[in-house]
Structure 1
Amino acid sequence: MTIEILPATGDRFDDAELALDSGDGPGCQCQWWLLTNAVFERSSRDELTQRFRDETRGERPPGLIAYVDGEPAGWVRVGPRTAQARLLRTRDVTTTTPEPLDAPDVWAVSCFVVRERHRGQGLMPQLLDAAVSAARDAGARVVEAYPLDPAVSKRSANQLYRGTVSVFVDAGFDIVGRPKPDRALVSLTLRD
């Protein structure tokens, strides 16, 4: 099995769409964390898809696509936390992060999707490693994430789009706090 992880650029939009083809991915178009609830709720799927397409054509790819033997198999969103408006309005984040909310060098890993037939192959840790590298290369000082802990509260695979605490801890992230028993805010310092 050959795994390759590449930026979600405009020429790979169709691959990004296929990578999102599990759980809530098709309906969300990985726009949930970018929009306020009111804007998200009144946006049609076509509008969300167009927003996502525009992101992939932008200056900075919104995330990374994992390919298994050339087939799109997974997705991770990574980018500046300030570009993910809902994060900046989410109590679990605002009350737990030690970082200033307006810090442009704090990046967030906020969403994973692994297509059903590719689950159990270790793609989430590989996507996370690639996301950290992308953040580091772009000048991020800190990478944050907001994973769930299925050891505390059972969750379906689709509910684990934030990632799992164990994957982040295994990758060297520190647990900064637990706003709820089954949720954590984790952080990795890339530079001082």
Structure 2
Amino acid sequence: MTIIVRPATPERWDDVATVFGTRGNPSWCACQYFIDPEWNRGGEANMQSLREQVDSARPAPGLIAYQDGDPVGWIQVSPSSRFPRFKPRGHEPDDGVWAVTCFVVRVGHRGTGVATALLHGALDHARGHGASMIRARPSDTTVADKSNADLFTGILSTFAAAGFTELNRNRSRVLVELKLP
């Protein structure tokens, strides 16, 4: 299977909506937790906010993964200054320091390399827009089992395999970073 990753542009909105679906946590939160203090309103309001971000944010606020042409995943990645609720210990918001905050991989496509492809796409996207560093707060699944809903920030092993280093921990959540050349 071939996985390609593309920016979430207005022309690709229908693909973004397909990835988020109409049921479950992704369709309810729509990756608004780190952006919007009113994120808990959920559902249609959050999807509308996400659509407005895709329509207006430059660079694109996230990327879409396609597996054999089918939209199967999303990663939210932008300058960390866009995420007022991304406040792990040791991080200060900065336009040059980007953050990966959310992953969505459609059921039926998990465990097929989609998240890894999205992360590598995010690195290229951030680097291409002048980022000097990228940070994230994935879960260490070796410390505690997590449900799929709890893995929205990614899995530590995926970030470690991409060369990220650990800065600090809060139980199973780990602040990681990668300096970009």
TM-score of the aligned structures, taking structure 1 as reference length: 0.88
Q: Do structure 1's residue 167 and structure 2's residue 162 form an aligned pair?
A: no
Say which SS state the counterpart of residue 19 (structure 1) adopts.
Answer: helix
Q: Distance in 1 between matches of 2:29 and 2:94?
A: 26
Q: Deviations over 1:42-75 (max 9, x none)?
A: x352221221111111132110000111111011
Q: Do structure 1's residue 49 and structure 2's residue 47 form an aligned pair?
A: yes
Q: Do structure 1's residue 11 and structure 2's residue 42 form an aligned pair?
A: no
Which residue type is aligned with residue 52 of structure 2? D
Q: Any residues of structure 2 matched to 1:169-188 within 5 Å, and which?
A: 169-178=160-169, 180-188=170-178
The correspondence for 2:149, drawn from 158, 161, 185, is: 158
Q: Deviations over 1:1-48 (max 9, x none)?
A: 221111111111110111123741101111111012xx223x352221
Tell me whether 127-136 or 22-31 shows the greater mean CA deviation.
22-31
Q: Give the deviation of 1:139 after TM superposition.
A: 0.4
The correspondence for 2:101, drawn from 102, 107, 110, is: 110
Which residue type is aligned with residue 25 of structure 1? P
Say which SS state the counterpart of residue 108 (structure 2) adopts.
Answer: helix
Q: Report the count of equivalent residues.
A: 179
Q: Do structure 1's residue 127 and structure 2's residue 118 form an aligned pair?
A: yes
Q: Distance in 2 between matches of 1:44 and 1:166?
A: 30
Q: Give the deviation of 1:177 after TM superposition.
A: 0.9
Aligned to 2:71: 72
Tell me whether 169-178 or 55-64 shows the greater mean CA deviation.
55-64
Which residue type is aligned with residue 66 of structure 1? A
Aligned to 2:33: 32
State the superposition RMSD in angstroms.
1.4
Q: Distance in 2 between matches of 1:69 and 1:185?
A: 33
Say which SS state the counterpart of residue 65 (structure 2) adopts.
Answer: strand
Q: Distance in 2 between matches of 1:183 and 1:141?
A: 23
Q: Give the deviation of 1:116 after TM superposition.
A: 1.0
Q: Deviations over 1:88-132 (max 9, x none)?
A: 4xxxx0x233xxx24210100010011111011011111100001
Which residue type is aligned with residue 156 of structure 1? S
Say which SS state the counterpart of residue 154 (structure 1) adopts.
Answer: coil
Q: Distance in 2 between matches of 1:128 and 1:48?
A: 23
Where structure 1 has 5 or more consecutive residues not aligned to the other structure, the ranges are none
TM-score of the aligned structures, taking structure 2 as reference length: 0.94
Which residue type is aligned with residue 152 of structure 1? V
- Fraction of identical pairs, as percent: 37
Aligned to 2:130: 139
Tell me whether 16-25 or 52-61 shows the greater mean CA deviation.
16-25
